[in-house]
Amino acid sequence: MKNLLTDIPGVRVGHAHDESVASGVTAVIFDKAAVTSADVRGGGPGIRDGALLEPVNTVERIDAITLSGGSAFGLEAGGGVQAWLAEQGRGFAVGDALIPIVPGAVQFDMLNGGNKKWGRFPPYRDLGYTAAAAATDGAFALGSVGAGFGAT
């Protein structure tokens, strides 16, 4: 036991960051869809698919969770994780369609000195994909990595 999320069987964690942007993404991938819930608080919460986690809703299990920098831009990280999961044949079955369920949360790291002039599309979708692809069930880096890369 290392006191890590990956001590739990079936949980994998991956990180990705962009040094020039001074921001990043952490993906928590479940080998089997997991029952989860959330308590959303704060004056400006940034969440993706948080309502899905309420027990009265149809979708009872999720495939992954993303944590990201980038404030509202970082919500796109979930799309990258979804793309990776779709390639793996994962998701909530609706007829013949599989829809990976990936809620997430973001933090504000927009004033940390990184280059936030990324052009038409922010980097978070690609970072989410990279973080999912890097997910491991073993030891993973702690501290200022992934979603914490731009935290101050």
Instruction: Note the pLDDT tens digit of each residue in 13-30.
Output: 999 999 999 999 999 999
pLDDT per position as a tens digit, 40-81: 888 889 999 998 888 888 888 999 999 999 999 999 999 999
pTM exceeds cut of 0.75: yes
In this prediction, residue 58 carries a pLDDT of 87
**Contact at 8 Å (CB) between 129 and 14?**
no
pLDDT per position as a tens digit, 101-144: 999 999 999 999 999 999 999 999 999 999 999 999 999 999 99
Q: Does residue 92 have a pLDDT over 80?
A: yes
- Paired tokens of 87: 């390639």
CA-based nearest residue to 132, from 69, 68, 72: 68
In this prediction, residue 94 carries a pLDDT of 95
- Paired tokens of 139: 């030891």
In this prediction, residue 139 carries a pLDDT of 94
The mean per-residue pLDDT over the stretch 86-94 comes to 97
7-134 topology per CATH:
L-amino peptidase D-ALA esterase/amidase (3.60.70)
CA-based nearest residue to 12, from 130, 127, 136: 136
Q: Does residue 152 have a pLDDT over 80?
A: no
Distance, in Å, from the CA atom of 36 to the CA atom of 46, rounded to the nearest integer, reads 18
Please compute, for residue 10, the number of CA atoms within 13 A of its CA located in the half-sphere on the CB side: 9
